[in-house]
Amino acid sequence: MTQPNIVIIMADQLAPHFCGAYGHRSAKTPNIDALAARGMRFDAAYCNSPLCAPSRFSFMSGQLISRIAAYDNASEFKATIPTFAHYLKALGYKTCLSGKMHFVGPDQKHGFEDRVTTDIYPSDFAWTPDWEAHDERIDKWYHNMQTVKESGVAIATFQTDYDDEVGFAARRWLIDRGRDKAAGKGEPFAMVASFIHPHDPYVAKPEFWDLYSDDDIDMPEFNLRPEEQDPFSRRVMDGIEASYTPLTDEEVIRARRAYLANVSYFDSKVGEIVKTLGDMGELENTVIIVTADHGDMLGERGLWYKMNFFEHSARVPMIFAGPNVAQGTASNACSLVDILPTVLDIAGGTDDMLGDPIDGRSLMPLARGEQDDKDEAIGEYCAEMTPYPVFMIRRGALKYIHCDPDLAQLYDLSNDPHEKINLADDPAFATEAKAFAEEVAGRWNSEQLRSDVIRTQKSRQKLHAAMEAGAGEDWDYNPPSDASQQYVRNHMDWTVAASRYRFPPVDGSE
């Protein structure tokens, strides 16, 4: 079997609602749109936890966060958990991570053979929440409305610095794979290129800001005052200071315009990688997957950022293009835990190579345009702004959200895509609501999970204090770089170096 290359391009905090391929009226995302036009667009793809690190750990492991104790942005991603990078290497792939994966802990590669950039966020236990004081803000790293108020334009930010580096490093690594193949090394490659945009702060480069006018920007479709919120949403609203920090329409429009501009900026990075694959002659032999770790509420329901299971926060774009991928759309609910079995399927792996049980299924049948009886996504949230786990089950058109101290929520997304009407107490949906409630009770032990979360929070808080005092070493990843082996040095023949680096090579040379 010929193993295709695999390239996963990941955004941070990209809601599919703000992509042209998903119907946004003014989003300028030509590169994502082009992939969707020749491939498969998944219309009900979800993250498994609407926060960066937990979502990414599920994505890498194919396991739900409760199974691997990946509760929040300061939970360790343990080195004993197999990832798709481990499995792909075992299947003969050369693997690389360029960009963010928010790994927490001393293992900063998790199976990737090459990692060509540092990360952008802390890799230690600094961002540990406290469920015993869940209503107290941690000002050093909690979101707040000042981020929205300061939205706008800048020539550079730490985020554009980072993503420009991620894009460059990804393309250089890919070109090196082309050089390897020209020299007769034929192993397939798998890369994850993971960018920080369009994650807040909502600050855009002028050339992308200028792609839009204020007339291109819609105000949020559905707004709720603090007193109208469900209890969990109210806790999030209070936590991000949205309950008592009013925003003007101009501020909301400016933030949403900058977000759209940064979506276009991310789209440009997608285009650069696709072009590089084409320049290498590998585009037709590469499965490309575009996705994100979670979305962004952007003012919908009066909420911003993520940390909830409403559509703008929990849904993600998911687009496949490449060999054995049909052209079309897939309506089945799916999620990021499905990526691991999907890439193993693409690479020719089998279930007997799995080191851990997984919670996902291969999406390749759907990608090929075939039927799939499974229409389900499961979500868990165990991070800040809640004292108890929050669970989501999306099955068919229905979405059920549960948190022990709160009233249940049930939405029929086929008739109510903006989740305006909670059907949990509607007599017409009594059977469905009861079945979901029983499923939650059978699937999760919420009290035990809460105890587990608090226990790890306490230990991580103590460990972080010790590390701050000097115990141990920083875990932040430093990409290896040996200048003595780069470009042309005195111990090498410059003509050999020139031949090695020239791509495509001169006819007749290696």
Residue 329: helix, strand or coil by DSSP?
Answer: strand
Amino acid of residue 343: V
Element (H, E) at 390: strand 390-395
8-state DSSP, 220: P
Is 52 a catalytic site residue?
yes
| Candidates 102, 110, 197, 402; catalytic one | 102
Residue 410: helix, strand or coil by DSSP?
Answer: strand
Distance CA 285, CA 262 (A): 29
Is residue 297 within 8 Å of 4, Cβ to Cβ? no
Phi and psi at 492, nearest 5°, equal -130, 155
Distances (CA, A) of 375 to 45, 336, 339: 10, 14, 15
For strand 286-292 and strand 5-12, is the pairing parallel, antiparallel, or unpaired?
Answer: parallel
Is residue 333 within 8 Å of 377, Cβ to Cβ? yes
Phi-psi region at 62: left, alpha or beta (left = phi > 0; alpha = psi -120 to 50):
left
Query: Tokens 């890369």 map to which residue?
Result: 191
Amino acid of residue 157: T
Is residue 395 within 8 Å of 375, Cβ to Cβ? yes
**DSSP labels for 155-218?**
S--HHHHHHHHHHHHHHHHHHHHHHHHHTT----EEEEEEEEEEPSS-EE-HHHHTT--GGG-P
| Candidates 19, 24, 47, 52; catalytic one | 52
For residue 408, give both structure tokens.
Answer: 């249940």
Distance CA 141, CA 124 (A): 14
For the chain, how many helices (H) and strands (E)? 15, 16
Distance CA 244, CA 226 (A): 9
Residue 401: helix, strand or coil by DSSP?
Answer: strand
Which residues are catalytically annotated? 52, 102
